[in-house]
Structure 1
């Protein structure tokens, strides 16, 4: 009988969930308050903030694979602990920032540490959880993270209400402490033995794995949904629709609660690479439909009609998001060699950094500048990337010497060279 509840069953998976819940609490508060902290307390301009964060995530995209490789060679638990501490230190730098230079240093350290930490945690999950349970456990982690972000956002809301430098600094201090607490929880998990070094093997084999790189690229395109509810839709609602402004918050709450309640159930439908590719294909269709609905929300002058269409669009978006997540996790884990999970997850995870880096600028120009046509172009990109994932998965399977074994057990090691980004993960 399937396990019920927010957390996975007792064991290493629950320890991983506890660590991610801890730092999600701090991150939720940080995400709500960071923009006002940097402008009102540090004294930065919007341009400086955007530049610093873009450079930080760009650096994270570059170092994700080497740090994942380090997790493979030194053991993912120890590397994850060190990178959680490094993330805490990065938030500490941001807390002490009084100039653009210090802020930039903190943003660079934060982007690098976060990207590496994600890769190391994924490698640790792969080492501690049997292959046929990884996608389900990853779904539990996603639900846990969303719950933590929601609670953290409420704490951040209290700081926004106070609107004082002390309140904003307290939020960043909580975030820094949350990563230290996560490091402690990670250190208590069982260790995973480092992968053996094979003479003559390339150090970063994932960079030569073209089928896997193609899947990472398609996943990155799909992850462009990430800035929608946090940035694009609020601006669209205020500037192009008759809906009330407060609906932006309602859509975010709907998204978060739906993922908390439904992500694990959705992920149970994925039982191999074939079903994973099918999930991603349907995710593309749902995201196309959601884009069409968002475009239609600008028609008419009735606020109630606009609100109803926006709620439909948000429901389609979160359904696509959950199906994409479940399929993407299975693909990212299942096609990565067992002894290179760190570097492969680091490479696959660059999609998140890229989406955070280029998504806001790209989608602002495409959707807010192009209107209905821009929404339909974006939806078409989602549908095309989703449809292309199935053939790309089959190509990647054929490129592995153990393709037959991989088809029977997607998490089994693939001998030979062969990415994932995960949301909000």
Structure 2
């Protein structure tokens, strides 16, 4: 009976309840199949099928990241103007069309055009998807629904990565072309799925809408965006810095890297919903973010120990460090969703969600080089100032969220009301 209850509880925290929460989570899983497939196979596709050099690929992706950073706020404004569902569907259709053109790209200029366009469209889709989820669900259900989405998103990424293994095994130009066309088809299916979601009534807009970049003047909110965005560095630490540390400073076998990635995927799927409890209010989300920051700091203190241990003890230290970072990711993600769901005003939610993503975009620009330099190239002592940085972020985020919560948002006209989907 105990085992049966355990299984039932585990299923409850992975399988979403029937209704809109389940529909949004299934959509996320379907979309992630395409995303996971491309994430795992893109480097080989770019070099083998398109004939690009590694330097050209890196430069193109960096330029695309810059476009995404600059465009996220005005693209969020499009969501406020035209509605999240409409922007979401259009963005998915455009993503499918752009992926379908990849096999016909000739040279670096063509690659740059497509990858920059994809970055802009993906930014618009990301804001619209999040705004739709927030608008369509009651406040008490939003964070849990996003947790279910992330749980099934990881399932989809895993499936996509598994499919990529088949493509890489075949390793022909034709296989890589079929791969991107399959991804385009997945995005079209997702667009049809999103189009069938319940329609939302129009949210009343203020008589004098804000300018596209006015949200950047909301200093308390932008401070929250910066701190929360820096905490998403757990992704960079887990997927980039930790593997480099393992390869260069420990005696652990290379295969442990794949094992830790698999551990991350499994625990996110199983525990994300459970870890989101209590993050559905701004104060609760701030406390979750603080816990995430302090756990990242603790990871930074534990992981350098693996540089002086040997054999089995090294593996134990690495698993403990990985578990600390996974739990940090679980609670920090819930905190981010709670802040995104509670702080932006309903009438300007797209612009504010777009602005909130700036902190994460900034992290993507500075964290890979900065954290690698501190954690890996210093030989180990750089982990300690890194830990101090995350302690400071953790100590700052609760009072900064309180500051933002006590400051009226720009363009806010009235207290938020629950939006009922139109059947």
> TM (normalized to structure 2)?
0.91
Matched, 1:220 2:229: yes
Moved over 6 A (4+): none
Instruction: Report the equivalent of 1:64.
Output: 72
Instruction: Report the equivalent of 1:343.
Output: 351
1:354 is displaced (CA, Å) by 3.1
Secondary structure of the 2:52 match is coil
Change (3 A) 1:95 1:14: farther
Q: Supply the distance in 1 between the matched residues of 2:132 and 2:334 (Cα, whole angstroms).
A: 18
Instruction: Report the equivalent of 1:381.
Output: 389
Counterpart selection for 1:262 from 256, 267, 271: 271
Q: Supply the distance in 2 between the matched residues of 1:174 and 1:351 (Cα, whole angstroms).
A: 32
Instruction: Report the equivalent of 2:112.
Output: 104
- Equivalent residues of 2:238, 2:325 under 8 A apart: no
- Equivalent residues of 2:247, 2:254 under 8 A apart: yes
Instruction: Report the equivalent of 1:331.
Output: 339
Secondary structure of the 1:226 match is helix
RMSD: 2.2
Aligned length: 406
Instruction: Report the equivalent of 1:208.
Output: 217
Change (3 A) 1:56 1:93: farther
Instruction: Report the equivalent of 2:6.
Output: none
Change (3 A) 1:172 1:353: farther
Q: Supply the distance in 1 between the matched residues of 2:179 and 2:238 (Cα, whole angstroms).
A: 23
Unaligned runs of 5+ in 1: 403-412, 418-425
1:356 is displaced (CA, Å) by 3.1
- Equivalent residues of 1:223, 1:352 under 8 A apart: yes
Change (3 A) 1:232 1:93: farther
Q: Supply the distance in 2 between the matched residues of 1:311 and 1:390 (Cα, whole angstroms).
A: 29
Map 1:127-166 → 2, pairs under 5 A: 127-166=135-174
Q: Supply the distance in 2 between the matched residues of 1:231 and 1:173 (Cα, whole angstroms).
A: 29
Change (3 A) 1:164 1:304: farther
1:3 is displaced (CA, Å) by 8.9
Which 10-residue stretch deviates more, 109-118 or 346-355? Answer: 346-355
Q: Supply the distance in 2 between the matched residues of 1:353 and 1:130 (Cα, whole angstroms).
A: 28
1:303 is displaced (CA, Å) by 2.7
- Equivalent residues of 2:286, 2:335 under 8 A apart: yes
Instruction: Report the equivalent of 2:133.
Output: 125
> TM (normalized to structure 1)?
0.90
- Equivalent residues of 2:142, 2:280 under 8 A apart: no
Instruction: Report the equivalent of 2:329.
Output: 321
What CA deviation, in whole Å up to 9, does each residue of 1:232-252 have, x standing for no partner?
222221111100100000000
1:362 is displaced (CA, Å) by 2.4
Q: Supply the distance in 1 between the matched residues of 2:54 and 2:414 (Cα, whole angstroms).
A: 46
- Equivalent residues of 1:75, 1:193 under 8 A apart: no
Q: Supply the distance in 1 between the matched residues of 2:262 and 2:11 (Cα, whole angstroms).
A: 25
Counterpart selection for 2:285 from 276, 284, 293: 276
Counterpart selection for 2:26 from 18, 33, 37: 18
- Equivalent residues of 1:266, 1:322 under 8 A apart: yes
What CA deviation, in whole Å up to 9, does each residue of 1:401-422 have, x standing for no partner?
89xxxxxxxxxx95489xxxxx
Matched, 1:239 2:219: no
What CA deviation, in whole Å up to 9, does each residue of 1:299-329 have, x standing for no partner?
13x2322111111111000000011011111
Matched, 1:186 2:208: no
Change (3 A) 1:261 1:281: same
Unaligned runs of 5+ in 2: 1-8, 416-423
Matched, 1:51 2:51: no
What CA deviation, in whole Å up to 9, does each residue of 1:269-324 have, x standing for no partner?
32422221111111111101112222211113x23221111111110000000110
- Equivalent residues of 1:39, 1:46 under 8 A apart: yes
Change (3 A) 1:363 1:168: farther
Change (3 A) 1:7 1:102: farther
